[in-house]
C-alpha cells in the first residue's frame, strides 16, 4: 500500500474525516465563488452536521458544468491554476477541469495508491499508452508513477509497433491503457509473430476509460500473460484514479477520504440501497480548483461491500462500471447495454476481439446487425449460435455478419462499439 494508514482506516474514523473534509470543501466554495453558492441554494458547511445532510444539496450534472464554461464554477483564481484538462467524448461546449498545485499533488497521491494496489512498485517499468493531451489519462499515470518513483516510458497513444518494440527492448513490466487498446496490441503482435510471454517481462496491465467486460479481461490476460486491473475516474472528478480493483478482484476500491460516493435511482433522485444498481454520484472532498458537490456521473454500478477487503483496505468496494445511463440502447421495446453484447460474444472462442452493434430502421421497424470478427468466417453454425444466444439473453434476433479478423475499422482512440443510424438514436 502507498498510504497504509489512510487505506486501512477504521470506518468510523473514515466517516469523521469525510465530514470534516466535506465541511471544509463547502467553506472553500463559499469563500471563492458566489455563483457556485447560488447553485447550492445557499447551503453551506453550517447546514451539514452529518454525512446524511448531504442529501439536502442539489445534484450537479454535466450540463451544469458545460454552462459554466470555462471557469464559471472554479473555486480558485486562474492565476493559481497549474494545468487543465477537458472532458473527452463531449460535443459542443467542453467541460474544463482546472487543477491547482494542491490538486496535482492529490492526483499524484491517489494514482500512486492505484498503481500500488495493482502491485506496481519503484522496481517496475511503466509504459503509458494513453495520450498526453487534453485527455487526462496519460498525465494521471505519469503523476502516479512519478510519486512512486517508478520508471516511466511516456510513449502516449498510437505507434503500436513501437509500443511492442519498447516493451521488449526497455523491459516494460506494467502497461497503462484505455481498455480497448490491448486488443490492438494483441492484433499487431499476432501479425508480427510477437509473443508477450516470450518477448516481454510484462506482468501488470491497468486499463480504464471505457466499459469492458470480465470476458474481455480474461482474453487480455490469457494472451498477454498479465494480471489486469480496472481503474476508474473522470475529468470532472479531477482525472483517472478515483478507485481501482486490488489483487482480490472483489470490487473497485474507492478512495473515500477523497471522494464521497452515493448511488441513486438513474431515473430519479432517491437513494438506492447497498447491493442495488444505481447511478454513481460523487462529491469531492479534497479538490480545490473545481470541487464537485453531488455530481451525477451517469455511470451505473452498485456498492458491493463496506467490509474490510482481503487486501486489508477498508474503503467501500463498488461493482465494475456496468454501463452509462445514456448508453442504453432500445430495440423493439427491449432495453440493453453494449457490455451485455460484448460478454455474450466473447464467450465464444471463435469470435474475435472486435465487434460493432449497428442499429437501423428497415421498413419502419428496428433492425439490429452485429458485425463480428472471427478467425474462421466460414464457421457453418457460428452466426446461428450467436443469434440464438442473443435471443435467449434479450428476446431479440439480429442479423449476424461474420468478418475476417481486421474486417472492422480501427479508430485511433476509444473503440467504436455502436453505430445507431436511426433518427434520434431511438
Last residue in a domain, options 281, 300, 327: 327
Shared domain check, 403 and 295: no
Shared domain check, 390 and 291: no
Decide: 112 and 147 in contact? Cβ < 8 Å: yes
Last residue in a domain, options 327, 350, 366: 327
Q: State the total domains in the chain.
A: 2
In whole angstroms, give the CA distance from residue 416 to residue 339: 12
Shared domain check, 353 and 314: no
- Please name which of 64, 69, 54 lies closest in space to residue 18, comparing C-alpha atoms: 54
Q: pLDDT tens track of the chain, all 426 residues?
A: 999 999 999 999 999 999 999 999 999 999 999 999 999 999 999 999 999 999 999 999 999 999 999 999 999 999 999 999 998 544 578 999 999 999 999 999 999 999 999 999 999 999 999 999 998 999 999 999 999 999 999 999 999 999 999 999 999 999 999 998 999 999 999 999 999 999 999 999 999 988 888 999 999 999 999 999 999 999 999 999 999 999 999 999 999 999 999 999 998 999 999 999 999 999 999 999 999 999 999 999 999 999 999 999 999 999 998 877 777 788 888 888 888 898 899 998 889 888 999 999 887 788 999 999 998 766 678 999 999 999 898 888 999 999 998 899 888 778 888 998 886 544
- Please name which of 71, 75, 16, 15 lies closest in space to residue 40, comparing C-alpha atoms: 75
Neighbours of 420 (CB within 10 A): 14
Identify the domain containing residue 368 by its residue range.
Answer: 328-425
Looking at residue 364, which CATH number applies to its domain? 3.30.300.30
Amino acid at each position: 500500500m502507498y498510504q497504509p494508514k489512510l487505506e486501512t482506516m477504521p470506518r468510523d474514523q473514515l466517516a469523521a474525516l469525510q465530514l470534516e473534509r466535506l465541511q471544509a470543501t463547502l467553506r472553500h466554495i463559499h469563500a471563492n465563488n458566489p455563483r457556485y453558492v447560488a447553485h447550492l441554494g445557499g447551503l453551506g458547511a453550517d447546514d451539514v452536521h452529518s454525512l446524511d445532510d448531504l442529501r439536502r444539496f442539489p445534484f450537479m450534472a454535466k450540463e451544469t458544468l458545460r454552462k459554466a464554461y470555462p471557469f464559471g464554477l472554479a473555486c480558485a483564481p486562474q492565476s493559481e491554476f497549474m494545468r487543465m484538462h477537458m472532458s473527452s467524448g463531449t460535443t459542443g461546449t467542453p467541460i474544463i477541469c482546472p487543477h491547482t498545485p494542491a490538486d496535482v499533488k492529490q492526483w499524484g497521491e491517489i494514482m500512486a495508491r492505484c498503481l500500488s494496489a495493482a502491485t506496481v512498485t519503484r522496481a517496475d517499468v511503466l509504459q503509458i499508452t494513453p495520450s498526453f493531451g487534453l485527455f487526462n489519462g496519460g498525465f494521471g499515470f505519469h503523476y502516479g508513477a512519478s510519486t512512486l518513483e517508478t520508471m516511466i516510458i511516456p510513449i502516449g497513444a498510437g505507434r503500436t509497433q513501437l509500443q511492442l518494440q519498447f516493451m521488449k527492448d526497455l523491459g516494460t513490466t506494467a502497461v497503462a491503457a484505455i481498455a480497448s487498446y490491448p486488443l490492438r496490441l494483441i492484433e499487431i503482435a499476432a501479425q508480427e509473430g510477437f509473443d508477450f510471454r516470450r518477448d516481454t517481462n510484462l506482468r501488470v496491465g491497468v486499463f480504464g476509460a471505457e466499459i469492458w467486460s470480465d470476458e474481455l479481461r480474461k482474453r487480455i490476460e490469457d494472451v498477454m500473460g498479465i494480471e489486469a486491473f480496472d481503474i476508474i475516474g473522470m475529468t470532472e472528478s479531477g482525472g483517472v484514479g478515483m478507485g481501482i480493483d486490488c489483487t482480490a478482484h472483489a470490487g473497485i476500491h474507492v478512495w473515500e477520504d477523497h471522494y464521497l460516493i452515493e448511488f441513486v435511482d438513474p431515473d430519479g433522485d432517491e437513494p438506492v440501497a447497498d447491493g442495488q444498481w444505481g447511478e454513481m454520484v460523487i462529491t469531492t472532498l479534497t479538490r480545490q480548483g473545481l470541487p464537485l458537490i453531488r455530481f451525477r456521473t451517469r455511470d451505473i454500478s452498485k456498492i458491493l461491500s463496506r467490509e474490510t477487503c482481503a487486501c486489508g483496505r477498508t474503503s467501500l468496494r463498488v461493482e465494475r462500471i456496468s454501463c452509462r445511463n445514456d448508453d442504453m440502447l432500445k430495440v423493439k421495446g427491449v432495453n440493453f447495454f453494449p457490455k451485455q453484447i460484448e460478454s455474450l460474444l466473447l464467450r465464444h472462442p471463435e469470435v474475435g476481439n472486435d465487434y460493432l452493434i449497428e442499429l437501423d430502421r428497415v421498413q419502419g421497424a428496428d433492425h439490429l446487425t452485429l458485425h463480428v470478427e472471427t478467425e474462421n468466417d466460414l464457421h457453418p453454425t457460428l452466426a446461428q449460435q450467436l443469434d440464438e444466444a442473443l435471443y435467449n439473453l434479450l428476446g431479440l434476433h439480429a442479423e449476424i455478419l461474420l468478418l475476417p479478423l481486421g474486417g472492422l475499422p480501427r479508430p485511433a482512440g476509444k473503440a467504436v462499439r455502436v453505430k445507431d443510424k436511426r433518427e434520434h438514436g431511438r
